[in-house]
Amino acid sequence: MSNHQNGRPSVTIIGGGASGVLLAAHLLRDPETDIRVTLVERRGESGQGVAYSASQRDHKVNVPARGMSAFADDPEHFWRWLQTRGYPAARGSGSLCRAGSMAPISKMSCARAGQSKLGRLIVLSEEVIAVHEGKNGVETVLANGTSLISRTAVPGGGP
């Protein structure tokens, strides 16, 4: 498997938690940029990570939803996105339960990133077992025996 085709810029993000998803969204934000991003998350659900996968319903995010945004130049983007989809945090106090709170950010960021050219974002539910730098780019070896070749590979955050 390869994501470094015909000299097209490509990035493999290892870890699909909050940082990885937001990095992908920012890399893909400009619809005219000819880049392919592959997000690899072993848990199968992007946007959660360790910090946002807590299962206690009373474990709240320490900022109101109105104060959260993936885009500094659009501070109310996330709030508007929650409102249009009827999330409970868009009503009342705006507090988000930490459990699952990044799922909407993940969906919103990936949807926004994928609004233009198809095939710019690939999300894989796999485990990365090795990363090697070579003459053709960076090889990211997956537990299923396949490899990704990209111009660069970066950690998506987390432990």
- Is 5 within a domain? no
Write out the residue range of the structural domain in which residue 23 sits: 10-155
Q: Say yes or no to pLDDT of 73 above 80.
A: yes
**Residue-wise pLDDT tens digits, 103-133:** 555 555 555 444 445 578 888 999 999 999 9
Residue whose tokens read 């991003």: 37
pLDDT score for 98: 46
- Is 32 within a domain? yes
CATH code, 139: 3.50.50.60
- Is 1 within a domain? no
pLDDT score for 99: 45
pLDDT score for 4: 46
pLDDT score for 29: 84
Contact 108, 81 (CB under 8 A): yes
- Is 139 within a domain? yes
Tell me the DSSP string of 23-46: HHHHHT-STT---EEEEE-TTS-T
pLDDT score for 92: 52
Model-wide pTM > 0.85: no
Low-confidence winner among 21-25, 117-121, 132-136 (lowest mean pLDDT): 117-121
Percent of the chain that is helix, strand, coil (3-state, to 5): 25, 25, 55
- Is 2 within a domain? no
- Is 148 within a domain? yes
Q: Say yes or no to pLDDT of 146 above 90.
A: yes
State the DSSP code for 46: T
- Is 3 within a domain? no
| Residue with more model confidence, 139 or 25 | 139
Average pLDDT over residues 8-23: 88
What is the count of structural domains for the chain? 1
| Residue with more model confidence, 70 or 87 | 70
**Residue-wise pLDDT tens digits, 30-70:** 888 889 999 998 887 666 555 555 566 565 556 666 777 77
Write out the E strands in the chain.
10-14, 36-40, 121-124, 128-134, 137-142, 147-150, 152-155
pLDDT score for 17: 82
Average pLDDT over residues 17-25: 85
pLDDT score for 142: 97
CA distance 81 to 67: 13
Contact 47, 106 (CB under 8 A): yes
